[in-house]
Amino acid sequence: MLPLFTEAKVPYVGAFTGAELLRSPFNRYIFNVRASYFDETEAIVQHLTAMSVNKIAVFYQNDAYGMAGLTGVERALKKRNLEIAARGTVERNTVDVAKSVAEIGKAQPQAVVMISAYNPARPSLRK
């Protein structure tokens, strides 16, 4: 769709995504109504570290969405001279999170930033 509305010079308003694809390079016909994934994760890490939470793990979906969130957290932590305490992944359209939850649990993080669809995130919270 991106090339179609750009060529037609038709505004694209209200995409529910934080994807970089709709932000970089700048496109004058795109009007984002949501922050970028990088901006969202920066705000999350800023808030956590302001509360002295520095041991942060990431649970992310193994796809472009999850990788964008992971990259955002990595960037935000690097800015603060920190690294991700642990990582756990979930494959798209699955809820098989037991191994990832165990891996993250071993690190005993103070917080876990979750970047996945709703269903995989719910069972991981119950563990």
- Which residues, 6+ apart, have CB-to-CB distance to 125 below 8 Å? none
Most confident of the following: 14-18, 77-81, 92-96, 122-126: 77-81
Q: Which residue bears the tokens 């942060």? A: 56
* 51 & 71 share domain: yes
What pLDDT score was predicted for residue 124?
A: 46
Query: E strand or H helix at 58, and its extent?
Result: strand 56-61
**What is the domain range of residue 12?**
2-31
Up-side HSE of residue 92: CA atoms within 13 Å toward CB? 6
* 59 & 75 share domain: yes
Q: Coil, strand or helix: which one is 81? A: coil
* 24 & 41 share domain: no
pLDDT tens digits along 55-86? 999 999 999 899 999 999 999 999 999 999 99
* 21 & 51 share domain: no
Looking at residues 86-93, what average pLDDT do you find?
Answer: 93
What pLDDT score was predicted for residue 58?
A: 97
* 50 & 91 share domain: yes
Most confident of the following: 26-40, 51-65, 113-127: 51-65
pTM of the model: 0.82
* 102 & 79 share domain: yes
* 26 & 49 share domain: no
What pLDDT score was predicted for residue 123?
A: 56
* 27 & 42 share domain: no
* CATH number, domain containing residue 78: 3.40.50.2300
* 50 & 92 share domain: yes
Task: Name which residue leads in pLDDT, 112 or 20.
Answer: 112
Which structure tokens are listed for 46?
A: 């800023």
* 106 & 57 share domain: yes
Domain count, the chain: 2
